[in-house]
Structure 1
Amino acid sequence: MSSEGQLIKKAKNGDIKAFESLIIDYQIYCYNIALGMLRSEEDAKDVSQEALIKVFKKLTTFNESADFSTWLYRIVVNSCLDYIKKRDKLRLVESDGEIDKNSSSGRDSVAEQVLLNELSDIVNRNLKKLKYEQRLPIILYDYLGLSYDDVAETLQIPLGTVKSRLKRGREKLRRLVVKDPLFSYSILDGEEVL
């Protein structure tokens, strides 16, 4: 039995130290999922903590033959969706508008970074207009980097459905962005960015 499996068994029997050891590697990832969905550091911190409390409370229902990380991530996603519904706001992908100080290339000028942030704002604003069914696969796959299989497991939908929702969602997002009054193909010196 793996060390994770042993920790799960102990945590299921009420061993809090085992639970803490089990989730320590998942805390940052849970927070990042919440941050990607809620786009607020404070909300992501609160919701990811609430989700981990739910994980502890529901741990006895976990089927040990299943993948723990997928089960945990599903609880985080559901917690985020519950939070969004309670607040009755579509705050899923708001941009904070800050310039990326950790740019991947030292050559990026401030002007290029500002333009990229503006484009990101346009995409994020239009992403909020998509239905949850199209938006969530895009966030999980494109923003958070989950595999198709992980998205399917997390959302509990067939793999083919993930792919079709991604395709339709991206097509709709592209149409929305191009129609956005703030979007222009000249935003990056005539480069088509979508």
Structure 2
Amino acid sequence: MNQHFPWPDERLIKAAQDGDVTSLTAVVVRSQPHVRKFAISLCASPQDAEDAAQEALIILYRKIGTLRATGALASWMFRIVRNECLRQVRLLVSRSNEQSVEPEASAEPSAENAVLHRLEVERIAAAVCALPRDQRQILIMRDVQGLPGKSVAHSLGLSNAAMKSRLHRARAALRHSLAVTDEVADQSVGEAS
């Protein structure tokens, strides 16, 4: 049996944009398998993927009228899912950073420091999201969520040694990615001076 479901056609999308509730429902239902596939490929965990897919479908339902070109539904939904996955990683990284801050250092940060912190969180989240799925999953589970190594290995169906090896590769890839963005930023600053 063929599991391929086509995206909604432009006529159906246009009717949904014009407020036809039946068409709108059909667009959401027909988009769901594609949105879930995007989310699974982009998010760190199955739960994050499910959350991102649900959020993306809600946005589709509420904001289909803002879609400029009916033929751009797939790329629009991909961007929504990607942004939702990035938002989830940013939240995890931000929570992780907040938990690691010492109590006496919890005074209100300056506006400049708050912006710099947010930019750093964005940069780390983007680098984590750019990792291959297997590396992204293991890095988030182990380093961001703080799950024990044995739990991570078990939940991913890996031996402890395989989990450690994959985690090492993920950390190395993340360090490399962040180093590259640091070099680009340094070059940009040097050129601007």
TM-score by length of 1: 0.48
Is the helix fraction higher in 1 or 2? 2
Give me the TM-score of the superposition, normalised by structure 2.
Answer: 0.49
- CA radius of gyration, larger in: 2
